[in-house]
Structure 1
């Protein structure tokens, strides 16, 4: 069975929801407008919505009382816990860069300057793909006295929007999955010269695309209008030929702005995919249709026309990529998947395509008159 695809082709983002908490309430962790790439606890927000179809989803809820022993927090260059213990003078705290996979390391300097060695950690058993909630932790000192703990008011290092400060999302993810080469690379951008949105297929199925050249047989079967020819004698009268269009390029797909009715019947502005034709030939020829999956939309066994929400695209354009990823789960089983990713573009596409062109040529040489 093919897994569900959460990619929204009209907004070029991922949208997904995962049930969490009380099934009767219909709570879920919502992955909202994710552009692809890394997914961690900070990528999702908690929301409450009625269960689909009035049926409550099933969720595992496990409560467990544990007893554990706290230990001092250890990190590179941490102060030694014993008094009068000689420390390494060569330690440079500023020389330890933050770890991108552990956000807490960005606060290392502040941790050392403010609380020194007064930080403690204690283990809490948890399962991946679960929501961990710590209820009423209590500390017992060496004299048997107990102290209730409470999370800081208004502050938390790993707080998720929609959850309280005592809840933590334990997200199952891979730290360093193997990434394959790009199998699809598409550039999207608004071209002010032609006043159209272009989708340029640059790589498909791992191969770089280049505009195909016409073969002599294709040129003979469908000649090109007004081939460039600036020869002739000085002072000879110029000759122009009307060409409907010139400069169309294969693998460049236009999107036309149009108002389409939505699900509620209200018209909404959309960029609608169109098909280019080469008008510089005697008979117009359709250019290749998109083959990249990033520009194709399927509803079951039917393929429909791709539409894009205008507010999705910034003025500098975007780059869409698809590639394979490989990792192993906690049991060592291999996992292979394909992902989409949307990133800003620093070089939006532009073309010199023109319509209604008067192409310069030569005066045709008259044929000799037949003998009488």
Structure 2
């Protein structure tokens, strides 16, 4: 066991902060031995030399901070971020008419899983919108073309005897909804796809005159604009990284000294987006070199910091007893509490705050700060967090670190991302829990909530049970014959079909690193591999591509990923709606009960 370090020169160690566990603060309290507090409140000093020693120890004789600030003049450069890059995708302009959460979290709304159409709630909403536009048009309302659109863009009635229509037939609510709308309402998303693909709203419609076609074309443009403004979806790649189960994106702004400053959010799980999610990225530029606005120059009056329980400037005064700092017992590694106590007990009466109003959604950096004290001296204040970014003794708060471990100058800017204080969350449409099963040496993706064809979310175990029951009606098993023995051999038992396995495999070119690959278990009816029912676990499934998750993304406690709609209002009152995925913490390990080579009683 190594001996603790020896401090030969205590004043030099305190001044240089050579040992982080050495503190400079202390507290004097009267401790009466009787029920009478009169003598304790006098704060009698029986040893003047001790008092002088304490004043010398706390640095009160140096008098370097004897002048109080009177005025302060500062210059702050503020630049808004103008470029956005989702993960490893292409960079583009950052929209200014919506919060950054919507731009970073938005994901495309799935309208089909392979050949299976889903999201019929939105399909019906788009179709209803189109029929209302046609019915309200003075030029088109006299034409009987509504039924033609229902026929051209139909909602087909599923076949209960077809295994391909099982997702729309096995669930009673979905089957009843499909029966109610089939042949009576139009699939508006088919019309939207037709218009986005370069088609015209009048294509395939009979009985039109030449004056009707421009009117339908104008209504088609209005329908496309309405739907694209209804739900915010990415035009290209989204920021969700399915391999890491989190969002990765970058924003860029013009640096105060020219050039470009790139900020990257490497591990944003979704939900609350703030400055601490970003880091300075010294990588490639994004093209954000727009002209910077003029700096903010102001002269203000500093005000001393005040809070309950703070030390009073006069010694012969009774402090506020509502705050008991002596009851705080931090550990030697609890740096946050240690910093707070040092601020509250030693330097709290030396702090001043300056009013500085900054616009939201800007990257701010103080270009200069000059303070004039009561003696008329002007002091130029430099940032406390300046220096090497890798210096562990560097003190800073609310600043951004730099990606990498190279020795680079620390960034002293302050980022106020263009976000909103509150976001309303809709009902969960997809909920996947990734847990570890040490008995089976697998990671399971449990689809606890899946999206039905009508757009609502439902418990995954109920959906899997209903699908299995419907398929057993379609493919009834052969009646068992007389057993030849009292026991039978079972190669593998069956588990619920909402449990999707992930098997550990080696990373290509590496014999030690492990990644998790999505696998499949055979179905209980025909042995066909079970397909995932959530977009989270269907990543690359329809394209026939494998899906990998980094092994470290599923800790011992597991992880949970949910998908839901989010709604908020931007600063101009505009409503913003988007579909997003969020990651949370799991509840530990689990077991599926998967077993091999078993003997069952016949």
- In which range does the TM-score fall when normalised by the shorter chain? 0.7 to 0.9
Report the equivalent of 2:567. 326
Deviation per residue, 1:303-359 (Å, 9 max, x gap): 744221223222332222233333333333333334333333223231222344443
Check if 1:292 corresponds to 2:560: no
Check if 1:6 corresponds to 2:239: yes
CA distance in 2 between partners of 1:209 and 1:277 (Å) = 18
CA distance in 2 between partners of 1:326 and 1:217 (Å) = 38
> Which structure has more helix as a fraction of its residues?
2
Q: In the superposition, relative to structure 1, how do residues 64 and 215 fare at CA in structure 2: closer, same or farther (>3 Å)? A: closer
CA contact (8 A) 1:73 1:121 kept: yes
CA contact (8 A) 1:93 1:109 kept: no
Report the equivalent of 1:38. 272
Gaps of at least 5 residues in structure 2 are 1-227, 329-335, 386-393, 403-408, 452-456
CA contact (8 A) 1:138 1:146 kept: yes
Deviation per residue, 1:102-127 (Å, 9 max, x gap): xx999655433113433211122423
Report the equivalent of 1:364. none
CA distance in 2 between partners of 1:168 and 1:275 (Å) = 48
Query: Of 24, 45, 50, which aligns to 2:284?
Result: 50
Aligned length: 339
Superposed counterparts of 1:181-196, under 5 Å: 181-196=427-442
Is the deviation greater in 320-329 or in 4-13?
320-329
Structure 1 residue 70: Cα displacement: 1.8
Is the deviation greater in 317-326 or in 265-274?
265-274
Structure 1 residue 246: Cα displacement: 1.9
Check if 1:207 corresponds to 2:445: no
Q: In the superposition, relative to structure 1, how do residues 244 and 223 fare at CA in structure 2: closer, same or farther (>3 Å)? A: farther
Report the equivalent of 1:335. 576
State the TM-score, normalizing by the size of structure 1: 0.74
- Where 1:342 maps in the other structure, the secondary structure is strand
CA contact (8 A) 1:156 1:165 kept: no
CA contact (8 A) 1:132 1:167 kept: yes
Structure 1 residue 133: Cα displacement: 1.0
CA distance in 1 between partners of 2:433 and 2:513 (Å) = 24
Q: In the superposition, relative to structure 1, how do residues 38 and 216 fare at CA in structure 2: closer, same or farther (>3 Å)? A: closer
Report the equivalent of 1:345. 586
Check if 1:359 corresponds to 2:592: no
Q: In the superposition, relative to structure 1, how do residues 277 and 16 fare at CA in structure 2: closer, same or farther (>3 Å)? A: same
Aligned-residue Cα RMSD (Å) equals 4.1
CA distance in 2 between partners of 1:266 and 1:25 (Å) = 43
Structure 1 residue 253: Cα displacement: 0.8
- Where 2:281 maps in the other structure, the secondary structure is strand
Structure 1 residue 168: Cα displacement: 1.4
Structure 1 residue 252: Cα displacement: 0.8
Superposed counterparts of 1:128-277, under 5 Å: 128-141=360-373, 144-152=376-384, 154-162=394-402, 164=410, 166-205=412-451, 206-210=457-461, 211-212=464-465, 215=469, 218=472, 221-223=475-477, 238-259=485-506, 269-277=514-522
Structure 1 residue 175: Cα displacement: 3.5
Q: In the superposition, relative to structure 1, how do residues 307 and 110 fare at CA in structure 2: closer, same or farther (>3 Å)? A: same
CA contact (8 A) 1:193 1:351 kept: no
Report the equivalent of 2:63. none
CA contact (8 A) 2:267 2:277 kept: no
> Which structure has more strand as a fraction of its residues?
1
CA distance in 1 between partners of 2:371 and 2:397 (Å) = 21
Check if 1:65 corresponds to 2:307: no
- Where 1:159 maps in the other structure, the secondary structure is coil
Deviation per residue, 1:145-188 (Å, 9 max, x gap): 32211222521222211374642122233344333443322111
Structure 1 residue 202: Cα displacement: 0.6
Superposed counterparts of 1:53-132, under 5 Å: 56-62=287-293, 63-76=295-308, 89=320, 91-92=322-323, 109-132=341-364
CA contact (8 A) 2:310 2:345 kept: no
